[in-house]
Structure 1
Amino acid sequence: MCGIIAARVSDDATPYLLDGLERLEYRGYDSAGVAVRTASGGTETLRSVSRVGDLRTLVAARSGDALTGVGIGHTRWATHGVVREANAHPHADCTGRISIVHNGIIENADRLRATLERQGHVFSSDVDSEVIAHLVERALAVDPDLMLAVQIATAQLEGSWAIVVLDARDGRMVVAAERSPLVVARSARGDFVASDIGAIAEWCETFVALRDGDVVELGEAWTWSSAGVTVPVPFPTPSPFAATALDLGDHPDHMAKEIEEQPEVVASILDRVARRAADGSMWVGLGLPGFHRLAIVACGTSLNAGQVIATALRGIGGVPTDIVVASEAEQAVLGPGTLVVAISQSGETADVLRALDRFEDRHPVLALTNNVHSSLARRADAVLDCHAGPEIGVAATKTFTAQVVVGVAAMISALVASGRIDAARSTALVGELTDLPARIAHAAAVAAARIPLLVSSVQDASGFLFLGRGAGLPYAAEGALKLKELSYRWAEAYPAGELKHGPLALVDEGTPVVVVDHGEPRLQANIAEVRARGGFVITIGGEGSDIPALGRRAAGDLAWGRATAPWGPLEAVVPLQMLARELALQLGCDVDKPRNLAKSVTVE
């Protein structure tokens, strides 16, 4: 969940480190820091418990020994130890010679710390990461080879780590990874290390992702070790996007930009997959066996997207589905013939990866991710690329939409390839998908005109209910999640029919109740129940709704026999995203970096 950056360049490293940290700040923003080797062979370490902008001010104000082109940086999402400067990275050994940055969790840190303290090592923080610096220090006392010292140190660790180790004495730099993402890259400017390629895309056109057990020394020539054995340096991979894709442009925040990009993202996806979804070749190309049951394994927004995909599969093909909350996977019992669809925007979600560990390769795994070079992609039997492009806002928007479209297209393709539906029906369904870019754009335009005034009416509410029925329910759940993430107001999503079984007690005069109304007839009775108790109802639906974002569709289409597509009203998610963003802005919240959250959840 933390962000790591490192540079070996010919000029001052700090501009690269600070620019990279700003691009990585979505991974955690409890604190930030840099450590840069000085011209005299020392280390200048600067840390802040504010944002990267404050760290930049500290760097600009420093004086003293000149800084070199070798340095490391870190932006933290706190897991161990409270937010204070002593707990901010980088951390150092007893002598100040070794500096480290770390992303992950060292599960045996307490035992290692106790042993090191008995041996005379003095710790200056409460965090698990500091043990790494002292383990490297101890190993160097026996053998001066930094790469060997890092290998010895990591062999004693339990848990997950992406590490960069800097030796101020000679400027050597060694990186290591285990169950936590890290990439290295080389360009004309020098060598770079980062938690994801987006942080260094401005300077590097290719990269190499470390695999579990890799230890790499950067220098004139890289030395690459895998599981303790020296191996050739892997062939680099082209960067998946240009650095300009990370810029805000004319948008006030990344979330606004990413909401606006959704019609274009969906159109681009469908250009890639529509034909192959309709004729079954998309599924055949994955090389997966046939399945009789589908299990979605995911967390958060990805779990809601998985619910939509599962709903579509049940509705179109009658295939049974299981929904597995990844963090609770030990409770799951999957039957024979089950295909596991593991969904993670980053492909590094620790709970999803651990869930796959628990399934022990008993079921084929299809990864649905926005990062085809991720740990999840490497673990899976086949991979579907979401093709959403970089998403910087912590609260997912366009990646949700992309996951739904790619996942539904794959399920249509699987159904036609297996003979469960015929080509005429698959073609009609894919035709309905191709209407989505226009429908999403229409929903955004309608919501932009209606939402600011509606939000001003509910700004002071302490909590919200979100209701839906059938295929609309996952969208209500996603709307509630977005509002919680961004505005820090409680929000709960329920099937509308469950109101009278308890949640209706929460409704009193003025309670905001957001309803995803995709035309399910029974919803009107539920809305009447809320209004009878004084609830402030906001409907997102067709003509006559408070936010008439759902365009007209002719009823009785032969492809699915009803007016709503089997995947439900996908365009409804756009006004739900805009509602959460607008409320957060009116409350003075940071919509790109909500408190206590991070974009890539790489710890359990």
Structure 2
Amino acid sequence: MCGIIAARVADDATPYLLDGLERLEYRGYDSAGIAVRTSTGGTETIRSVSRVGDLRTLVAARSGDPFTGTGIGHTRWATHGAVRETNAHPHADCSGRISVVHNGIIENADRLREQLSAQGHVFASEVDSEVITHLVERALAVDPDLMLAVQIATAQLEGSWAIVVLDARDGRMVAAADRSPLVVARAARGDFVASDIGAIATWAETFVALRDGDVVELGESWTWSSRGEVVAVPFATPSPFAAEALELGDHTDHMAKEIEEQPGVVAEILDRIADRAVDGQLWRGLGLAPFERVAVVACGTSLNAGQVIATALRGLGGVPTDTVVASEADQAVLTPGTLVVAISQSGETADVLRALDRFADRHQVLALTNNLHSSLARRADAVLDCHAGPEIGVAATKTFTAQVVVGVSAMISALVASGRIDRSRALALVGDMQRLPGLLAGAAEASLDRIPLLVSSVRDASGFLFLGRGAGLPFAAEGALKLKELSYRWAEAYPAGELKHGPLALVTDGTPVVVVDNGEHKIQANVAEVRARGGFVITIGGAGADVPALGRDAGRLLSCRTDVTDQGMSLWGPLESVVPLQMLARELALQLGCDVDKPRNLAKSVTVE
């Protein structure tokens, strides 16, 4: 959610801070700010409750002492305290010497605030993060070493944190992390700190991720401690993507770009893993013990992807599955022999990580993530990389598709390795999957002209129903989620057979009802029920559908699913349906004047519970 950037460079730090904050905008935020050391040894803090562009304007308009090359920046997504400038980061201590930016939640902040206030510390904000500045200030009053002060301060915290502390007096900078992501990097231009490598990828080709309990001082040489003990600086890791991958190119928005990238992403994934899925080596390489049951643990779009993966496992191998909403994991009871498949695009989803607090000691955990350096990856027994590349749009598109393809491939490999299916069947199943890039491209082609016209007919509707049956249901759920996220209109997904048990009361003249028609034989009767009550039906299916996007292989319209060898993909659903569903949500949002890359109140990396 919140974003951190820090720089120690030879020239003015503000361009780096502002550029980094703009690259962090996709994470979601409601205020932004920077604190930069000045040439006279002070710190100037500039904050805004508008966009980073407004902050850039404020910086350009300032007058005063020149800025140095040492500074910190932050984008805040409000948790403690209202959205106002005094609650925006960075925060300072009583004297203005210490400035801090913080991601995470300090669970014992109220108790610490009471103690510090009783000792004479004066607080300027309502936020939990400010206690860190005063803890560092108190520690410095006893010992002048900044790194030791940060270690003392963080030892008193409960919760999660990624922080950067700046001392205006001497320009020292210390970073620390526990259960919240933070990376440091050394490049030709200087040292950088960020909550996301994408924020600094333009300047840094390698990075080091802080592990829980790490405290690092940046300087001519780095000093690195882990749980209070000085350790060698870990080896740097190459950046997982090129800086140009973050640029829009010829696209109007990142979402459009990322929808278009899906066929290529899937093709690359299959090139990497298809052969190893067929012979079981993909699974064997994970080093996991045999399982009798699988529990998918995830949130939001990742939960929908997990539903598809679970459907594949049941349909292809007859393996029983559970689907656990991560924020409700306390209510779940998992049987012995259950493998937990934890899914998170960022690998930092707080609800998923807290769910593992409950499950990890008793069950093996397989992480499915787009970030191999994440907290989830570190905590799991085995990890699968989604290989989706950077995704800037807050609403997930290509990461959903990648999660499904990697997850289903892994389950096919597991079924081969456990003897539940033979290699010849796996070969046929993976052969079917090789058609996916063409199917996704064909779906985009079929949707391009139809979606804008359909959206213009329903743009004034206050709410939408999304229907599916069987393997199509998780895709209907994902379509409804996308529309809610982007257009701010109500959208609910239901099994089509549940219409007569309540939701049909919502249908009146013109009510938009989006139907994922993947050939389930009873769905036409459900469509007839809607039409009989005046509903405006939009079918996404094969030939004859309002959006004939299913089974269309790169411009060649095929009969819906009947040509699939062994009906492999029909058992886990029409993945290409997500393309028109994503395009539908995006088009409605655009026609309503919404920002499709940065929907309100939402964040890419959900690091709070």
What is the TM-score when the length of structure 2 is the normalising length? 0.98
Corresponding position of 1:172? 172
Corresponding position of 1:573? 578
1:443-463 per-residue CA deviation (whole Å, 9 max, x = no partner) reads 011111100010010000000
Aligned residue type for 1:566 = L
2:591 aligned with 1:586, yes or no?
Answer: yes
Corresponding residue SS for 2:181 = coil
Q: How does 1:415-430 map to 2 (within 5 A)?
A: 415-430=415-430
2:277 aligned with 1:277, yes or no?
Answer: yes
Corresponding position of 2:550? 550
Q: Measure, in 2, the Cα distance between the counterparts of 1:603 and 1:543.
A: 44
Aligned residue type for 1:514 = V
Shift of 1:567: 1.8
Q: How does 1:372-391 map to 2 (within 5 A)?
A: 372-391=372-391
Corresponding residue SS for 1:565 = helix
Shift of 1:565: 2.2
**RMSD between superposed Cα atoms in Å:** 1.0
1:3-38 per-residue CA deviation (whole Å, 9 max, x = no partner) reads 000000000000000000000011222000000000
Aligned residue type for 1:368 = L
Q: How does 1:300-319 map to 2 (within 5 A)?
A: 300-319=300-319
* Contact map agreement 1:24 1:75 (CA 8 A) in 2: yes
Aligned residue type for 1:236 = A
* Contact map agreement 2:518 2:560 (CA 8 A) in 1: no
Corresponding position of 2:515? 515
Q: Measure, in 1, the Cα distance between the counterparts of 2:345 and 2:287.
A: 22
Corresponding position of 2:98? 98
Corresponding position of 1:258? 258
Q: Measure, in 2, the Cα distance between the counterparts of 1:230 and 1:477.
A: 49
Q: Measure, in 2, the Cα distance between the counterparts of 1:72 and 1:224.
A: 19
Q: Measure, in 1, the Cα distance between the counterparts of 2:560 and 2:257.
A: 32
Corresponding residue SS for 1:105 = coil
Corresponding position of 1:599? 604
Corresponding position of 1:54? 54
**Are residues 85 and 558 of structure 1, via their aligned partners in 2, closer, same or farther at CA, if it must alter by over 3 Å?**
closer
Q: How does 1:287-298 map to 2 (within 5 A)?
A: 287-298=287-298
Shift of 1:118: 1.1
Corresponding position of 2:486? 486
Moved more, 354-363 or 225-234: 354-363
Q: How does 1:231-246 map to 2 (within 5 A)?
A: 231-246=231-246
Corresponding position of 1:560? 566
Corresponding position of 1:109? 109
Q: How does 1:278-357 map to 2 (within 5 A)?
A: 278-357=278-357
Corresponding position of 2:190? 190
Q: Measure, in 1, the Cα distance between the counterparts of 2:162 and 2:431.
A: 44
2:84 aligned with 1:78, yes or no?
Answer: no
* Contact map agreement 1:447 1:575 (CA 8 A) in 2: yes
Aligned residue type for 1:468 = G
What is the TM-score when the length of structure 1 is the normalising length? 0.99
Corresponding residue SS for 1:571 = helix
Corresponding position of 1:124? 124
Q: Measure, in 2, the Cα distance between the counterparts of 1:140 and 1:181.
A: 26
Corresponding position of 2:555? none
Q: How many residues align?
A: 603
2:359 aligned with 1:359, yes or no?
Answer: yes
Q: Measure, in 2, the Cα distance between the counterparts of 1:496 and 1:183.
A: 46
Q: Measure, in 2, the Cα distance between the counterparts of 1:390 and 1:474.
A: 24
Q: Measure, in 1, the Cα distance between the counterparts of 2:523 and 2:56.
A: 53
Aligned residue type for 1:565 = S
1:230-250 per-residue CA deviation (whole Å, 9 max, x = no partner) reads 100001111000000000001
Q: Measure, in 2, the Cα distance between the counterparts of 1:124 and 1:463.
A: 43
Corresponding position of 1:451? 451
Shift of 1:559: 4.9
Q: Measure, in 1, the Cα distance between the counterparts of 2:270 and 2:480.
A: 28
**Are residues 99 and 437 of structure 1, via their aligned partners in 2, closer, same or farther at CA, if it must alter by over 3 Å?**
same
1:489-534 per-residue CA deviation (whole Å, 9 max, x = no partner) reads 0100000000000010011111000000001110000000001111
* Contact map agreement 2:542 2:560 (CA 8 A) in 1: no
Q: Measure, in 2, the Cα distance between the counterparts of 1:163 and 1:519.
A: 52
Structure 1: any 5+ residue segments left out of the alignment? none
Corresponding position of 1:496? 496
Corresponding position of 1:399? 399
Shift of 1:279: 1.1
Corresponding residue SS for 1:560 = helix
* Contact map agreement 1:425 1:559 (CA 8 A) in 2: no
Shift of 1:424: 1.2
Structure 2: any 5+ residue segments left out of the alignment? 552-557
Aligned residue type for 2:398 = K
1:405-432 per-residue CA deviation (whole Å, 9 max, x = no partner) reads 0000000011011111111110110011
